[in-house]
Structure 1
């Protein structure tokens, strides 16, 4: 068996010692009474009893009986866990009292008697010194006090008489005094060491407790922050899915409106119709811009990322921004901490700068300074910037800082949400910051806001570093709208208005058109009409089979038939969601007649 021992508590040990001494008090008092009575009897039998010795025996008897009664009344069966300092001092006082009482025979009895009475007194005094000191050993101070007083009495007796008995008693008493003096010195040293160690241990316990409390508090706060970030991410994801779906359906409506406006222009109804069709096309253009912002927030817009020299871009944008913001706002640009290129869509970066500039102008109605900076940053595995999660890596950070009114914490938490705005009715759509946020997220980066009320706002775009060189692309020349030569095109679109519009557009371009609403109807026409040259299909179709799934079956059976997709979901989003392959062609709704004509001509070439 394993022998385990529990370390003793010093306070409990002291309590046990005092308790044992208290239980020993009755027999000690009885010994006092017996020894004093025996001494009186011996002296009386040898005719050496004096009134002084008789008085001493009465005092000793009174004290002994009194302590006997008190010990009997306050007797404890079990030792307490600890004793008070007062209880220890009471034991020391009792030891001093009895030490003074037994010093009396050392001074007067032993030197004044003779014969066998002196021998008996010497033996009795020796026994009282030894027995009393040993009995008081658990409390060394009490033992020293007792033996010290008896020793002092023996020294005085030796000084008065100088006989052999008093000398021997003095030597014995002094020896015990020396022993217990050494004991109490050692005990005091141990006590001090123990006291210091206990203080150190208590301080260590307090430090550990404080550390645990701080760690627990930090862990709780970090958990709350993580939960808030998760809730914000889930909320933004849900809003993004909703806005992406709205933008998709809205693009179908815009495609019909814009397409019919173009068809009206082609009919040449007269100059009076041009303002009407122009207004329609202008409104659809604004609608297309609105859906583009919605798609930017929901990270479903079509991006063309490439290496950008951010220093050149903000330098080129400073003059247009200055003219747009007015003379009351000073535009300052800094790029001395940046040498990397960013991987992003330059058009979207410019749009983000314009949106942030407009927000800054509205935040500084009395004018101020707008600072645009770019810097290179390497993020480690901490994956957090201003409370927002981001993948570790190299980033080019575009910062836009104003000296405006700033935002409250409540407003800042909602600033990236679409249609959230603090501007008056008709003064803002609430899509500027949401577009910036969605663009940064879709580009593989992050957007953050740091703001203080009355101090201004800083919006930062973290765009991934580009490791490729910048390619200078030539601007394509404007070409005439290409026309067809009677080729047959199968249009698959579940929205009847969009399908009818596509049929009219393609018919006016010189193609023969067949329109169906789903993949099953398209399959029947492909089987029956062998002359079909191209399929123009929506990505999402009813009936359980999507446009890309139908195209995969068609390429297996009829590899010569070309396929073009059209959708309210832009190219990058459709590819990311697995709708299209990397070589697929997709027209983003709403599209112009010229865009449709060029896409069809290139596919049939």
Structure 2
């Protein structure tokens, strides 16, 4: 063998890419070790089997590639090859046709495995998709930026409309500066890894801007136009200034204290503010006048009046008047000492009724709180609804395959224990998703006309186990209770969350009380209770004698992810979930609490005119199995399709699984035996599940249909799948849930 032959052989055998020499008919004459390893064959097997053993006959690019090589004596591109075990491997090939010295035609093929490159591209595409999903869920201008350059790599529709452009810096396109914006907090956010925000005045608007690091090389920048809010705030400040100015010059009521006689005189206006007639009260004694103030304010006004008399110090106070026959009244009381030769001879003052102003400020604060809560609800709702479908699909695969793996693992093995941990984490993730959707009022529900007394009665045993033996559970059912219409499972969620919170608020021995009753809320009551509305309601009350809450905590209890519990002790979604459930059922909540005085939740649910249906007590049953019935599964997500097929086969059904409605219809037209059940996804690219079921029924009139989906309730409802009498299962589901739903659907008459 010549030196050149030796060099070629060394190059051929040691090349990391797969190298093949073939005849025109596909017979393999040479294959290097890399090619053998790539396809899983020994050399003699490849030489015997030829090209057909390694090409993917289903690859539509194969035939054009062979034609191109035959015509041009050259081909370079990507194809799918297959290994000995049948797995498909994406490859990049370069093939050249040449003639030997003897004139025989041969083809050289260089094959490179590009699986890792494909996976990397898929991960990149997936990350870009998730980034865009995040941006599109934000209801304002939002962009993703590189921290070092501030280059825009992704944006939402609002940002595009504002003039932002890809591959440009944020300040060049919006607000079109040559240098970074002077107010920009991106460097600070990137330096400490924390979110930063501020408000600033732009060229034509006021903005509330946020900078949030989201990964190692990206941060999120989004901004709200708060111009209208700023204008409103300035108007409120102006009105407050005018009101205060008018109060300073208005003598609504006047009084005088003469030191020489130690007597007090009132004007008619002062009598009117106090609600007293001249004949029934004599204000001559200052100490007696102080008794007209609220007990908590008497010390304040007494000390201010003493300093005015003894030291000549003026005062200007806002205090509360209190009498047996009138509501608490706010007043502004002003005292000005009058001096003569360095001594106080009298104190002059006026009093102004400011009750309306104080009430307006409280109502404004309440309305602002409701607005903020509504904004949080909308933001979390958009985010939860935007990711729920993909998240539920992923959880379906995790939970489903974990159940199947648990059945195969020995109960006493480490693998079984590890799988149980995975299953517990999956269930916890499913619960968190459902809580988010409940808070956002997007969970799938089954409203029923129910009697709250019966529902509470059915839960008492479980609730007592939940709160423990040291805490007493007291139950006072209301008489002649009206019916309400809501999902019984939501009542379970409300009671369980409230009782757990009550238990955690009690240190040692204590009491939790559950009550029900009817209530009619009129306009006057609603005006005094922010967030309520008039009408007839059934009231569910849960109270405890625990530690209670201060005013600041009370104002935040319904915020998602807000919790006073320690790490790993609470998600901060319990009360947020209750808030979403009550809102979804057109009710409202009143909460009363104070430090050391316990907490009371009053949940008002609208009265329903119809009579409640009897409660069916749940019993622990074994999952029903199939008897060889044929089931067609239609699911466009391959992982979900395979998992559902595996679960149904495990339950004893004969399963056909396809990835699109067109494939399902094609199978139905060519299938010779009956198909007993169609299990179909609701939202699919070609047509939705409802339309597919309609076409399938024309081919199989007796076909039963079970719909499944990971989308939120509002999306599913648009396809008509949440109507009464329609069989539906929400992703993610367990094998037990699937078994009962499939059996119930098949057994329907």
TM-score bracket, normalised by the shorter chain, equals 0.5 to 0.7
Shift in Å at residue 483 of structure 1? 1.7
Deviation sequence 1:335-356 (CA, Å, 0-9, x none): 4566334444444323322321
Under a length normalisation based on structure 1, what TM-score does the superposition of the two structures give? Answer: 0.55
- The answer (yes or no) to whether the contact 1:564–1:586 under 8 Å persists in 2 is yes
> Which of 577, 583, 600 is 1:435 aligned to?
577
1:535 to 678, 690, 697: 678
Distance of 2:684 and 2:356 partners within structure 1: 55
1:258 aligns to 2:403 (yes or no): no
- Between structures 1 and 2, the one with greater helix share: 1
The answer on 1:593 being equivalent to 2:735 is: yes
Out of 639, 648, 664, the position equivalent to 1:497 is 639
Cα distance change on mapping 1:218 and 1:473 into 2, 3 Å:
closer
- For residues 516 and 386 of structure 1, the distance between their equivalents in structure 2, rounded to whole angstroms, comes to 56
| Separation in 1, partners of 2:500, 2:417 | 30
Deviations 1:209-230 (A, max 9, x none): x99x987997787566545534
Per the alignment, do residues 245 and 449 of structure 1 end up closer, same or farther by CA in structure 2, a change over 3 Å counting?
A: farther
Aligned partners of 1:355, 1:498: CA distance in 2, in Å? 32
| Structure 1: runs of 5+ lacking an equivalent | 1-209
Superposition deviation, residue 330 in structure 1:
4.3
The residue matched to 2:607 in structure 1 has which SS?
Answer: strand
2:519 corresponds to 1:377: yes
Shift of 1:377: 0.8
Q: Which secondary structure does the structure 2 equivalent of 1:378 belong to?
A: strand
Unpaired stretches in structure 2, ≥5 consecutive residues: 1-351
1:511 Cα offset (Å): 4.1
Q: Where does residue 186 of structure 1 map in the other structure?
A: none
What is the aligned partner in structure 1 of residue 426 from structure 2? 284
Asked whether the 8 Å contact 2:623–2:739 carries over to 1, the reply is: no
1:470-481 equivalences under 5 Å are 470-473=613-616, 478=621, 481=624
The 3 A distance-change label for structure 1 pair 215 and 310 is same
Shift in alpha-carbon separation, 1:430–1:243, aligned structure 2, 3 A: same
Relative to structure 1, the CA distance from residue 554 to residue 238 in structure 2 (aligned partners, 3 Å threshold; closer, same or farther) is: farther
Deviation, structure 1 residue 324:
4.2
User: Structure 1, residues 122-142: CA drift from partner, whole Å, max 9, x if none?
Assistant: xxxxxxxxxxxxxxxxxxxxx
1:296 equivalent in structure 2: 438
Q: Provide the TM-score with structure 2 as the length reference.
A: 0.46
1:363 aligned residue:
505
2:6: which partner in 1?
Answer: none
Match of 2:542 among 397, 400, 417: 400
Q: Per-residue deviation at 1:582?
A: 2.4
Say if 1:406 and 1:455, in contact at 8 Å, map to a contact too: yes
What pairs with 1:153-164 in structure 2 (closer than 5 Å)?
none
Deviation at 1:421, TM superposition (A): 0.9
The corresponding residue for 1:233 is 374
In structure 1, distance between residues paired with 2:579 and 2:658? 39
Q: Give the number of the structure whose alpha-carbon radius of gyration is greater.
A: 1
| C-alpha distance in 1 between matches for 2:481 and 2:746 | 45
CA contact (8 A) 1:575 1:582 kept: no
Across the two proteins, how many residue pairs are aligned to each other?
Answer: 392
Deviations 1:387-443 (A, max 9, x none): 2244x4322111122334433444333322332212221121112112222222233
State the structure with bigger RCO (CA 8 A, min sep 6), 1 or 2: 1
For residues 375 and 464 of structure 1, the distance between their equivalents in structure 2, rounded to whole angstroms, comes to: 12
1:297-336 to 2 correspondences below 5 Å: 297-311=439-453, 314=456, 321=463, 324-326=466-468, 329-335=471-477
Distance 1:275 1:250 in 2: 25
Alpha-carbon separation, structure 1, partners of 2:562 and 2:719: 28
Q: CA–CA distance in 1 between the matches of 2:743 and 2:575?
A: 39
* 1:257 to partner: Cα distance: 2.2
Give the conservation status (yes or no) of the 8 Å contact 1:405–1:453.
Answer: yes
1:338–1:369 CA distance, 2 compared to 1 (3 A): farther
Residue of 485, 491, 496 corresponding to 2:628: 485
1:451 to 593, 613, 627: 593
> Which of 551, 556, 569 does residue 693 from structure 2 map onto?
551
Q: Is the CA contact (8 Å cut-off) linking 1:301 and 1:569 kept in structure 2?
A: no
Conserved in 2, the CA contact under 8 Å of 1:538 and 1:565? yes
Report deviation, 1:320. Answer: 5.3
Shift in alpha-carbon separation, 1:540–1:385, aligned structure 2, 3 A:
farther
